[in-house]
Amino acid sequence: MEAIKRIHHITAIVGDPNENLQFYRDVLGLRLIKQTVNFDDPGVYHLYFGDHHETPGTIITFFPWTNDNYGRKGSGQVGRIAFRVPKGSLNNWLEHLTVQNIQVETTQLFGKDTLEFDDIHGLELAIVEGNVAASNDDIFGFHGSVLLSSNPNGTKELLADLMGLKELNIEGQNHHYETTGEEKHHIVTAIPPQPGGRFGIGTVHHIAWSVPDKDVLKAWQATLMDSGFGVTEVRDRNYFNSIYLAEKGNVVFEFATDGPGFDRDEDKDALGTALKLPEQYEHRHQEYETLLPKLDI
Ligand code: ZN
């Protein structure tokens, strides 16, 4: 199989949808690109955010729960999610976050200066500089993420041997990998494993890896099954097709196709401005409009 080139999206569980929107749009400057529902739990929003350049490997998505059911971070989850910002902008970001009363710690988590902070619902985030300068300080996609594997060596077999991520020799206790695509997303598996986590508000649900099309997705499904993973059937996610599995460290991985894309049901300029439902829920559109909290867009 050809190596995995980049992250496709990362999906987390958060709290109130308007607080979620305010944080990612107004504090981090991302763009809401899709309002839909959780296809497996359609009474809950599924909100998608991207950057303003429609960069591949930028999409962070949320299930905003309104039930105060907080999760516990721990192994078997994706950990801290890092965004990449232009070269030379880190101090501006530190100042920007500090002005918003967000507590920031500067660490070396990703092998270079890393601003660590939490979103409004306790989801762990980070900002890391890329190698490219820009005319503004806007986030330019993901830098990568931490995986809280319960079995870092088992996770390594999948990441390095099957998915073709390159292990970097960065000093420190953690394994550190990068994807082979031009985005060079960084993946850090935290060592030693932590106690098991529980999904809920403030935790990441899964990380999805980009594959070019449905044929390659099916080839991955077969390869992963041959390697002993329990892999789902191909699921139609309307904007992409997906398979899911739990890797050996219990982190949920999804493999997702790049197409058909988010502009299949609304114009590029109008992305995220209205509730969009897949065909199977469209007949209940009015019901969901009434049920779901109104977004301040
Ligand atoms: Zn997903």
Residue-by-residue DSSP string for 149-202: -S-HHHHHIIIIIIS-PEEP--SSSSEEEE-SSTT--EEEE-SSPPSBPB-SBT
What are the extents of the domains in the chain? Answer: 7-291
Distance 242 CA to ligand 1 centre (A): 8
Q: What pLDDT band is residue 229 in, cutting at 50, 70 and 90?
A: very high
Q: What pLDDT band is residue 213 in, cutting at 50, 70 and 90?
A: very high
Distance 42 CA to ligand 1 centre (A): 15
3-state secondary structure of 264: helix
Q: What pLDDT band is residue 37 in, cutting at 50, 70 and 90?
A: very high
Shortest CA distance to 145 belongs to which of 222, 211, 68, 59? 59
3-7, 167-171, 176-180: range with lowest mean pLDDT: 167-171
pTM of the shown model: 0.97
Distance 244 CA to ligand 1 centre (A): 9
Instruction: Report d(CA 10, CA 50) in Å as an integer.
Output: 11
Distance 10 CA to ligand 1 centre (A): 6
Q: What is the mean pLDDT of residues 116-141?
A: 96
Q: What pLDDT band is residue 53 in, cutting at 50, 70 and 90?
A: confident
pLDDT at 1: 87
Instruction: Report d(CA 177, CA 145) in Å as an integer.
Output: 10
- Sole residue written with tokens 């992963």: 224
Distance 92 CA to ligand 1 centre (A): 31
pLDDT (tens digit per residue) in 55-67: 767 899 999 999 9
Which residues are near ligand 1, the ion (C-beta closer than 5 Å)? 11, 208, 254
Distance 256 CA to ligand 1 centre (A): 8
Looking at the chain, the whole-number percentage of residues with pLDDT higher than 90 is 93
Q: What is the mean pLDDT of residues 10-21?
A: 98
CATH of domain 7-291: 3.10.180.10
pLDDT (tens digit per residue) in 135-157: 999 999 999 999 999 999 999 99
Q: What is the mean pLDDT of residues 222-239?
A: 97
106-115 burial: b if 16+ Cβ within 10 Å, else e: eeebbbeebb
Instruction: Report d(CA 84, CA 261) in Å as an integer.
Output: 22
pLDDT at 171: 76
pLDDT at 148: 98
- Sole residue written with tokens 């900002």: 127
Sign, CA dihedral 265-269-271-275, equals negative
Distance 70 CA to ligand 1 centre (A): 20
Q: Please provide the average confidence, as pLDDT, over all residues in the chain.
A: 95
Q: What is the mean pLDDT of residues 223-236?
A: 98
Q: What pLDDT band is residue 116 in, cutting at 50, 70 and 90?
A: very high
